Structure 1
Amino acid sequence: MGNSAENTENQSLKSQIAALEQLLDVYEKTMLQQTDKLYGEISERKKAEKAIKASEQFLQTLLDSIPAPVFYKNTDGKYTGCNKAFEDFLGMKKEEIIGKTVFDVAPEELAAYYYEADKALFQSKDSQVYEAHVKPSNGSTRDVVFHKAVFYDLKGALVGLIGIILDVTDRKRVEESLRKSEASLANAQRIAHLGNWEWDIVINKVRWSDEVYRIFGLAPREFGATYEAFLNSVHPDDRECVKESVNKTLHEKIPCNIDYRIVLPEGTERIVHAQAEVVFDDTGKAIGMNGTVQDITERKRTEEALRRRIDKEQILSNISARFVKFTDFDNAITASLADIGRLSGACRVQLFQFCDNGGIMDNTHEWREVGVMSEIKHFQTALFPWWMKNLHANNVIYIPDVSQMPPEAAPEKESLKRQGVQSVLSLPLYIEEKLLGFVRLDNVLSTEERDISLLRITSGIIGGALARRQTETLINHLAYYDALTNLPNRNLLQDRLQMTITQARRTNGIVAIMILDLDSFKTINDSLGHQVGDLLLKAAAERLSRCIRKGDTLARMGGDEFMLILPDLADALNAAPVASKIIHVLQQPFFLGSHKLSTTASIGISIYPLDADTKDSLIKQADIAMYLAKGQGKNTFQFYNPNLNIRI
């Protein structure tokens, strides 16, 4: 029984041992399996770590190959990686950078800026681009652009940011240089009023420079940018000419070079000069046109002003030359007035001369445009006191609007309005402080000061011509007329007598010559003085002038002796009634001041061709007959031919 119990324990122990061995066997297998599995896992992890390391090495190599600085940080702002370019940018090794913040690696003023930018990026959880001035390790200031973006882990948690720095310094320099160049070009175009344009013919698109828009008075949004829209700005009268020039350039390859007018939106007209050439494709088809347009308005105005100035100076020269030696004063004056009218744009130009000691303004010469009525009149100067006051002050009278004349010029205003004058310019004619007259320009166009100066010079030339004409007339008058009686003198009488005899010889006419001597004149002259004697001679001359016909000649030969030429007589005895009439009128008393004078006349008459056929012989014979009359007791007349005396 004891053995049985022992055997039972042994059997149980064996069973336990067997179970334990079986458990150990299972455990061993399990452990071996787990060990194999763990080894496999470790092997895979090593492979993964090796792959990750290789990937990191590749990524770093890739980053280092990028010439632009690249960096990345965690959410604490600490650098967790960068490339070689970033190391060079900071002038630090990677080991000195990793784990540091911007405050550790950047200047203080830049670090705060970078920090705020990173903070804003983390808050937006997006991307970020901004420009900044930085100072790399070489110490120079550079313009850079930061491109940054946040990144996340596999679970979607925000873990940091990555950034790249692009150096745009050179680009900005080029851009600035280009901007300056464009600004300089635009400024040059502005100064020269010259713009450029391009026309894409294929799509009918026009591109203008800023200066072209300025020239045309348009803003880009106001312009349809087509060829047709451009033509709308061209003056209607020039549009066909522009189209023809463009067509010749396109189809005949003739360079476009043309001046034309444009109309700005507000209606102002400008003049431009355009040049263009055509762009052709490989097949010779016109695909575009490039050109320039320049505002030449001011140049044209200057040229026109210069041309007008030259024309005016030429007119001035012509007028001056015209009066250097004139043979026909009236034509010279009229031609000069015409020049003045065309120069000033007046419709009528008149020359007024003063006569009757300045009491009358006499419109002696006039030029007017076709269709303008003549206004040649005589005016009493006393009726226009304002006008005369200005003329005597040697003032140019320029009235752009007659209706605006001052109140004191009411008579002048009314007179001008009656004549249909809306504007007037008057130039006084002065010679040596003597007012000879004035030139009046009616309905004159707007006149500049320099034009008035030229017109004053012109009026001075005309005034000089008038003075010369008056002087020449006076000299001629003195040469041929008696200064006291204003009758022809001996010189003029000789000429007229010769002409009368020549005419009578051709027509078989009869001419009577009378020589008259005042009886008792010497006594009056000696007793009462030369002044009274002169008055008597003038009064006698006036009475004698009323006794003769229009074609007869009365002359003073000197002293108290007068001579008459009576042409075209039907009979020689027809001279007798004239002589009798003279005897009668001279017998009448003369009232000269306080003096009552009486005188008579003795007259001698010779007849052509009865007595002689030469002027000297006829004068001599008439003189003899006059002394015969004195011998008959004076106050009578005698023919040289006795037979005629018998027949009286």
Structure 2
Amino acid sequence: MLEYQAILENAWVGILFTRNQRVLHCNPRCSEIFGWPHGELVGQHGSVFYLSQEDYANVGRAASPVLARGEPFDQELPMRRKDGSTVFCHVRAKAINPHDTTAGTIWIAEDIGERRRAEAELQSLLLRQEAILENASVGILFTRNGVIVHCNPRMEQIYGWPSGSLIGRTSDVFFRDAADRQAFAERVAPLLSRGELVDIEWRNVRRDGSPLWSRILAKAITPADGSQGAIWISEDITERKAVEERLALSQRLLEQRVQERTAELEKAHQQLDAMIQCAPLAIYTRDTRNIVTSWNPAAERMFGWSAAEIVGRQIPSVPPDQLQNHEQLLRRVLGGETIMRTEVVRQRRDGRRIYLDMTLAPMRDRAGCITGYLTIAADISERKEAEQRIEFLAYHDVLTGLPNRLLLRDRVDRALTHAERHGQRLALLFMDLDNFKQVNDTLGHDTGDQLLQAVTQRIQQCLRETDTLSRQGGDEFVILLRDLADEQAAVPVLDKLLAQMQRPFLLDGHELTTSVSIGVALYPEDGRSFDVLMKKADMAMYQAKENGRATYHFFNETMSHRASEHLALRNGLRRALDAGEFELHYQPQVELASGRVIGAEALLRWNAPGEGLIMPGRFIPVAEESGLIVPIGEWVLMEACRQARAWQQAGLAEVCVAVNLSAVQFRRGNVEQSVLRALEATGLPPHALELELTESLMIQNVEQVLATVRRLKLLGVKLSIDDFGTGYSSLSYLKRFDVDKLKIDQSFVRDLASDPDDAAIVRAIVQMARSLNLKTIAEGVETEDMRHMLRVFQCDEAQGYLFARPLPADEFARFLSAQQAR
């Protein structure tokens, strides 16, 4: 019994006895495997060894029938240590008495964690080796007794065989014929039998018979036993061999060329001399005493002295103010330095100064001693003049010669520093010619340029020498008035400017009258920097224009508030689209003959946080000016189409949704693609979408607009002219643009019942539309009298508060549903 106890206590596997699902006894190895202090496991429930109660139950269900039959239970599974960590074990169990379960069970547990890790590493190694073999960039195959037993995909690719088709074939398939195969065997067999590495290049064949060059590496698996086979590695070197052949050919050609080149050198020497004589650059040489030793024709033309006059003499071409620089260059080049492309000033025989781009290089004899120097010179006088002109233009306006914005900024900054130091004021005047665009459009840009030049002269007559006049571009000028005692000191200059500009200009036989609007910003009251003063003078100028033009206006803070509000709207619009702050309201459009709702105009509203609904009249101009109308317009188009399709899918009567297109949106955006995207994305039938265009849009860039309108019509959408009669109404564009409907502006409809002129205009529009087979719709209909008169005039459709205000989408759906029910 003591011997069994010793075996139990020293066994390398864990051994425990259980009875009634509790540990009766276990050896030290068992406690060690499961991380329990020896002795603590006794009395523990059998579930402490399992990761979960479910695992414990599963093992019980599996083991019970096996143990009941008196058979051993054997399983590998993850089990639980006392600290909760997992240990993989091989568990074997057997009932002590299968007929009496109360007798208990003996369990043997073996920690197989290391074995499982070793198996996993082996599997990983095999997978990596397989991956290397299958993905190798070279072909690899194994042969046994001359038969292919395995090869990788690259080997099949190189030799043009389908996947798996090489297995079982002999290596004869890689050779042209039996003789070729025999020759190869004679080369490699001795090496393989000695266990040496074969490394050979051979001309093999592909499956289709086409030749290829291969580099073949091979080694016997067991040199003493040829039946064990060999491993072969093959690389396609066809391209490399072709390159080598080309290189060999190139080598032969090079040797031939060297021989030819040697013969050409003498000829090249003669050509070089000819080139020097014909070169456009002055090329001449001098000795160490500065005596000219050669002088080409270009040097004769550049300096004015012939070779006969100057060879053997020093060149008297260095101006007195350039002597020091010349002597410095001379010391450097005679000291052995090559001076590349230095710019110098020289003078011709006639005394005219010229700019030269000059390169100087020392000349040496066979012993390496400096004997003189070579000069190559190009006349860059024209380039230098151009550079000076460019430098001038960088700071001046091309047309008038006035300082541009860059130079103005520099002068204002200097004037501000001076004014601050001496406690003085200065004024910045922002001037804009009134109606200058009309002159350009009517008389052409040449006349417009002449007017700007004449205006420049007039303004300069009103200014002091210390003042600065700058042109900012177009018809905008800025004046800097320095050294002002107070703001009233600028008034006489402003009055004089207005008076001068009101005098007519006589240009090319045309008597032109113009005026200026001037905004004034003062330092230090309105700002202490160029940018701030410019911004405020610009605001004041626009206020002068709003005040009737031909006047001036000093900046005040009210303008700043309006500008800030404008900026806030612009910034808010950028955020609104991303934040989903826009919404559409829909105003019903009614068929007058039947009273049936046949359409809805989509009207944009901005539900701004903290402000509520902002109407379009306040933010649309800002959106158009900033270009944000393009993405906003695309959103409106997409949302209107989506909503119209949703109404259809909800079973409501089909209505045509009308969407306004801004002229800015039409010019800057790709309207055709936006419409197509909206229709495709929402599934709305094209005939259920109406695009409202303004009259002004139809007369700008007519051909481009016409082409776009025609493509929109091809999509199947409807087109209408919005606010008809308020713009440049023309029968010709109605005929060419193939619109479907005219929308009579509410300014004519509003007083329809009380103003005979408005009634006559509306009647004429309706009659003209009917003659052109166009429908008409009146907007702003608010009374029964208006509706009655429109029906008498045979107007087709109407919209306005008489029928309904613009409604949110859900309210419009209820309105439409109620109308259907009647």
Q: TM-score, normalised by structure 2?
A: 0.25
Structure number with greater CO (CA < 8 Å, separation at least 6) is 1
Larger radius of gyration: 1
Q: TM-score, normalised by structure 1?
A: 0.31
